[in-house]
Amino acid sequence: MKLSSLITLAAGFVSVAAALPVKLQKRNSRWDYESNALYGVNIGGWLVLEPYITPSLFEAFGGDDSTKPVDEYHFCKAYGPDQASQVLQNHWSTFITEQDFEEMACYGLNFVRIPIGYWAFQTLEGDPYVQGQVDYLDQALGWCQKHNLKAWIDLHGVPGSQNGFDNSGLRDEIDWQTTEGYVQVTTSVLSQIAQKYSGADYNDVVIGIELVNEPLGPALNVDELVDYYNDGYQIVRNEGDVPVIIHDAFIQFNHYWDNVLNTQIDPSVWDVILDHHHYQIFSVGELQRSTDDHVSFACNIGWQESGEYHSTLCGEWTAALTDCAKWLNGMARGARYDATYDNSQAVGSCENLYVANYDYFTNEEVRSKYRKYVEAQMDAYTFGKMNGWVFWCWKTENLIEWDFKQLVSLNIIPQPLTAREYWDQCGYIKY
């Protein structure tokens, strides 16, 4: 693949068409994924709680970490419906406001990915979850329209959990496929989402519906997951022209997804985008990498991701170089970095990594290290075989490595987005 130095960075990231390999011409609706890259953020910790993003909501329970709720399911159960609703309504109305969308646009972003759980649309008998999130989702989409941002609606949590992570709403269980009726409830919710957001009111803002976030492929029946993807595709497409987003389920070997909803094998299939998430901190081997090793790995990802049969995006990535952030691995869990969680081999001490200390990141050596890694990922996920990136996440209460807004203020995320202190680390540009 060749890139002219006249394209891309100096041109302001408007189009990557000239950088992409020639592919079968696909029909595109709402957004031309083949020609126009997305530069966005995830609005994490808002309509689906994650303790590490908004720790104050969980610290309010007092006591030590072992007594606090570990996810939104247990958060609502501990409070009860009335108090949970009151607390969450306050959170939904204050954590994200229109000002956030104004700032996103000012930072040169053109896209947001909005996670939401099944329980916002339909609850199971005995569910402790409270509802009200849909009103805020609709408000957010209105702000997107006003500030010229596109959006994906991301079904982030499904009944019984698809991955056992707290980001699914329910931690330590993966019963989505094994409990009768759970997949059917999921398709019912998907149908509700498709019916509403395929309408004309949203045709200039909603450019994708993600069928499920991060299904944990190694813990699931992948054949059944493929069946769900095929069924979900039909549900969404039967309602209109919204593109369908499928996650790789952490199965990326041997072009596993090439034959799933493949636009070349089946010409009737169109607008299917494959979502990859890339982090380099959730194993000891990754944590042991030097900054240059992290950069090299990110660049290789950019080259290797298959874009032949689907448009592909990096739907989640971060500036983080450790897993030291409090509760990142879950409530009452430590970090792999200092061997307080999941391993006995320490890489270093989390005490010396001030991941919530703004002043730590103003040290020029520290700032430059993070900037180098961030720029490499931005290049890799734009000028390799992907069509853009979505940073996780827009804001947190106090975790700088994961906070787009604070990283911009620290000159770690470049402004404008086209600016580079480390030019062409991945070797994409050919002079």
Residue 85 DSSP one-character state = H
**Omega into 393 within 30° of 0, i.e. cis?**
yes
Active site residue 316: yes
Query: What is the C-alpha end-to-end distance of the chain, expressed in Å?
Result: 13
- What sign does the CA torsion over 392, 396, 398, 400 have? positive
Number of residues assigned to the chain: 431
Active site residue 351: no
Residue 6: count other Cβ atoms within 10 Å of its Cβ: 10
Burial of 366 by CB count in 10 Å (0-12 exposed, 13-18 middle, 19+ buried)?
A: middle
Are the C-beta atoms of 373 and 321 separated by less than 8 Å? Answer: yes
Structure tokens at 66: 């072992």
CA distance 93 to 89: 6
Closest CA to 405 of 12, 145, 57, 109: 109
Residue 221 sits at the vertex; the CA angle it makes with 330 and 232, to the nearest 5 degrees, is 90
Catalytic residue, chosen from 305, 316, 375, 401, is 316
- Say which amino acid occupies 415: Q
Are the C-beta atoms of 18 and 263 separated by less than 8 Å? Answer: no
Closest CA to 394 of 115, 56, 116, 16: 115
CA distance 246 to 300: 22
Catalytic residue, chosen from 50, 72, 214, 305, is 214
- What sign does the CA torsion over 290, 296, 297, 298 have? positive
CA distance 19 to 4: 8
| Active site positions, annotated | 214, 316
